[in-house]
């Protein structure tokens, strides 16, 4: 079992989720049940799956949940790109979020590689 709160990529994913919630307030209200809901769920899924995997019985299960967390990160990235392409959010803010997200993706990938050894 791993202490997920000490994992830097979990900490960064919590910060990212908080930023996502803040930026979602800038989206049009008619997106409440569309993009806003999807974006928030994807953002929350990243640290949630890291934590769930860390609490599992073995590294194999943790590896699996890290894969789910990473998949959620790519889902979030796609949704953020869509908001940028539709001019729903400031491109600079979206690019900053995506940059942070890319860092988390690299960290998860690296941790998974080490976990598999």
Which residue range forms the structural domain that includes residue 93?
A: 4-114
**Cα–Cα distance, 61 to 49 (Å, whole number):** 11
30 or 116, which is more confident? Answer: 30
From the list 86, 80, 83, 115, the residue with the least C-alpha distance to 101 is: 80
pLDDT in tens, 78-112: 999 999 999 999 999 999 999 999 999 999 999 99
Domains in the chain, number: 1
> Whole-prediction pTM value?
0.94
Distances (CA, A) of 70 to 13, 27, 31, 101: 11, 24, 25, 10
For residue 24, what is the domain's CATH number?
Answer: 1.20.1440.60
Q: Scanning the structure block, which residue is given the tokens 């790109």?
A: 81
pLDDT in tens, 19-74: 999 999 999 989 888 999 999 999 999 999 999 999 998 999 999 999 999 999 99
């Amino acid at each position: 079992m791993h202490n997920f709160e000490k994992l830097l990529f979990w900490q960064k994913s919590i910060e990212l989720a908080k930023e996502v919630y803040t930026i979602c307030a800038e989206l049009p209200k008619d997106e409440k049940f569309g993009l806003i809901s999807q974006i928030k769920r994807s953002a929350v899924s990243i640290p949630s799956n890291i934590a769930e995997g860390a609490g599992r019985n073995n590294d194999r299960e943790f590896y699996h949940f890290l894969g789910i967390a990473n998949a959620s990160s790519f889902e979030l990235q796609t949704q953020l790109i869509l908001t940028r392409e539709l001019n729903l959010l400031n491109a600079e803010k979206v690019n900053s979020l995506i940059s942070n997200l890319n860092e988390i993706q690299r960290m998860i990938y690296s941790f998974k590689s080490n976990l598999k050894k």
